[in-house]
Amino acid sequence: MYIIRYQPKNIQQMNVIYGRVSTPKQKQDTQLKEGTKSFIDVCSGSIEFIKRPLAQKLILHLKSNPGTITTVKDISRLGRNTKDLLNTIELFNLNKWTLKILNPGIETNTPVGKLIVTMLGAVYEMELNNIKERTQPGREIAKLQGKYKGRKKGTKTESKELL
């Protein structure tokens, strides 16, 4: 794979925000900043970053605006899967795109930044697994009572179509 870097001398630095909420009911405004272009996906943190619709638009934006700094409120907004999180960081680093994560206040293109992202990514992944484990008994009870049906077996609707 070849990465072509063209960086004109007069790059005007721009800031954008990337965010993610799991459901449409969640508030997005905590991740927004007035006057800043924002890309906020509504999807599970377990969906790969590069497969999210607004993450794809962000990548296209970064390709055409090389001086852009992307800010994310929290590492968990990028994802809750350590491997995908590291792949996302690698994508940014290989393309020389700046990614700032406000909580815990790091830039990902440093060795210490990568270490912190790796550790926190593992914690968020464990947290997601714990949430699934804790909610499973409640879902089973709801299924038995006919309150929770979930998706029909054999459904092949893609995430984009479902949302």
Instruction: Quickly state the pLDDT bin for 50 (edges 50, 70, 90).
Output: very high
Mean pLDDT of the chain: 79
**Interior angle at CA 82, CA 95 and CA 110, nearest 5:** 45
Give the pLDDT confidence score for residue 150 in this predicted structure: 66
Residue 38: left if φ>0, alpha if ψ -120 to 50, beta else—which one?
A: beta
46 is an active site residue? no
Cα distance from N-terminal residue to C-terminal residue, the chain: 33
Comparing CA positions, the residue from 141, 142, 138, 143 lying closest to residue 153 is 143
Give the pLDDT confidence score for residue 49 in this predicted structure: 93
Q: Which two tokens stand for residue 27?
A: 């508030």
The reply to whether the predicted model has a pTM over 0.75 is no
pLDDT tens figures, 117-141? 788 878 888 887 888 888 888 888 8
Which residue is catalytic, options 22, 44, 76, 159?
22
Q: Which two tokens stand for residue 47?
A: 């969906």
Helix axes 82-94, 111-144, angle to 10 degrees: 140
pLDDT surpassing 70 at residue 18 = yes
Give the least confident one: 22-26, 61-65, 149-153. 149-153
Section 6-34 average pLDDT:
66
Sheet holding 37-42, edge to edge: 37-42, 15-21, 69-74, 98-103, 106-107
Question: What is the distance between the alpha carbons of residues 131 and 116, in angstroms, rounded to a whole number?
Answer: 22
